[in-house]
Amino acid sequence: MPLTDSFGRLHNNLRISVTDRCNLRCTYCMPEEVVFMDKGELLTFEEIVRFVRVASPLGIDKVRLTGGEPLMRRDLARLVRMLADLPGIRDVGLTTNGILLADQAEALYEAGLRRINVSLDTLDPDRFRQLTRRDGLERVIEGIYAAKRVGFDPVKINAVSIRGSTEQDVVPLAIFARRHGLQVRFIEYMPIGADKWERDKVYFAHEIVEQLERAVAPLVPADRYDPRAPAMEFRYTDGGGEVGFIASVSRPFCTNCNRLRLTSDGKLRNCLFALDEVDVKALLRGKAPDSAVADVIRQNVQAKWEGHEINTARFVKPLRTMHAIGG
Ligand code: SAM
C-alpha cells in the first residue's frame, strides 16, 4: 500500500532535522536567545537510519537533511553515507546556511550527497549581520565556491523574501547567481519564526519576477516547469540561467504536498505547520518492532490535513519555530 493520505496525496519525501542548534540567529527563523535540546534528546544516526529503512518500503525515496544548522552535527558525512547506501533511497539532499560548508563540502560529496541548497539572503555584510545577528558572509560565499568546486551541480541559493528588506537584495543575488552558475530561489516569508509575521510583510514571487524582468532580463517558465511542484522555475531568455520561487503564501502547494518531517528529537510531523506531532523516538528507543514504526508513519500520513491555511483567519502558528522543526 503506497503512503497516501486521505486526500490521495502520495508521500515520498522526508525532511530530517539533525539538530536544533544553529550558528546564525536569522530574525525570521528563531529567537536570539535559545535553550537548545540536550544532545541525548537527538536521534542518533543509527536511529535516523532505522527510521528511514522502515519508511523506504512504504514509499519514501527522497530525503533532505536540515536543522537547525545540519553541518553543526558532528560527522554529518557519516550519516549521508549511511542514507545514500540504503537501496530504496535515490536522493539525499542538504539545506545549510553555508557557514561550515567550505570545510565539509568535499567529505559530503564523497559520502554521496549530490543536492545542496545554501541559504543566503543578502550579499551585503551589514545586512547579513542584521538579518542573521551574526557575522559570516565571507564564509558562506567560500562555502558556495567550495561546493561548486567539488562538483555539486546545481548549487541552489535560498533567499527568504520579506517586503521592505529583500527588494534591495534581489538583483545582486540574481547577478551573483548568474555569474557563478547557481540557481537562486526566493522563498516567500512564512509565519514560522519567532517574529511577528503579517501577510503584508511578504514580498511576493510575482513582484520579484517583475523586478528581475525590469532590472536583469526577461523570464519565461523553464522547460521542466511543473505548476504542481513547490518551486516555480523560470529561465532568463538571454541564456543567463534559471531562478526559482517557492511561493508558499501567494501560491500554496499543499494540494501536491508529498512531505513528512522528522524533527531532531524524533517527532514525526505531517506538515511544517502541524500542531500535533507523533513521538517516534520512544518507539525507536523502546523495544517496538519495525512494524509499529511503520504503523505510526502510515497513521501520521493518513491524518494529514488539507493544507496550512496561512491565508485564512483559521491559521494557528505552531509552538515550535522553524529552527526546532527543521526547515
Ligand atoms: N540552517 C539551515 C539553513 O539555513 O538553510 C537549515 C535550516 S533553515 C530553518 C532552512 C530554511 O528555512 C532556510 O532556507 C531558511 O531561510 C528558511 N526559513 C526559516 N525561517 C523562514 C521563514 N519564516 N519563512 C520562510 N523561510 C524560512
Counting ligand 1 atoms within 8 A of each CB, the residue from 187, 262, 317, 325 with the most, and so the one to mutate, is 187
Which is the closest atom of ligand 1 to the Cα of 191?
A: 23
Q: What is the pLDDT of residue 226?
A: 78
Tell me whether residue 208 is exposed, middle or buried, using C-beta atoms within 10 angstroms of its C-beta: 0 to 12, 13 to 18, 19 or more: buried
What residue ranges of the chain have pLDDT lower than 70? Answer: none
The ligand 1 site (C-beta within 6 Å) comprises 22, 28-29, 66-67, 69, 95-97, 119, 158, 160, 187, 189-190, 192-193, 322-323, 327
Q: What is the pLDDT of residue 116?
A: 98
Dihedral of the alpha carbons of 129, 131, 137, 141, in degrees to the nearest 10: -170
Single-letter amino acid code for the residue at 2: P
With beta carbons less than 8 A apart as the criterion, state whether 77 and 30 touch.
no
Q: What is the pLDDT of residue 227?
A: 73
- Tell me how far apart the alpha carbons of residues 57 and 69 are, in angstroms, rounded to a whole number: 28
Q: What is the pLDDT of residue 188?
A: 98
Sign of CA dihedral 268, 270, 276, 278: negative
Q: What is the pLDDT of residue 173?
A: 98
With beta carbons less than 8 A apart as the criterion, state whether 104 and 152 touch.
no
- Tell me how far apart the alpha carbons of residues 85 and 153 are, in angstroms, rounded to a whole number: 20
Which is the closest atom of ligand 1 to the Cα of 30?
A: 20
Q: What is the pLDDT of residue 229?
A: 83
- Tell me how far apart the alpha carbons of residues 320 and 276 are, in angstroms, rounded to a whole number: 11
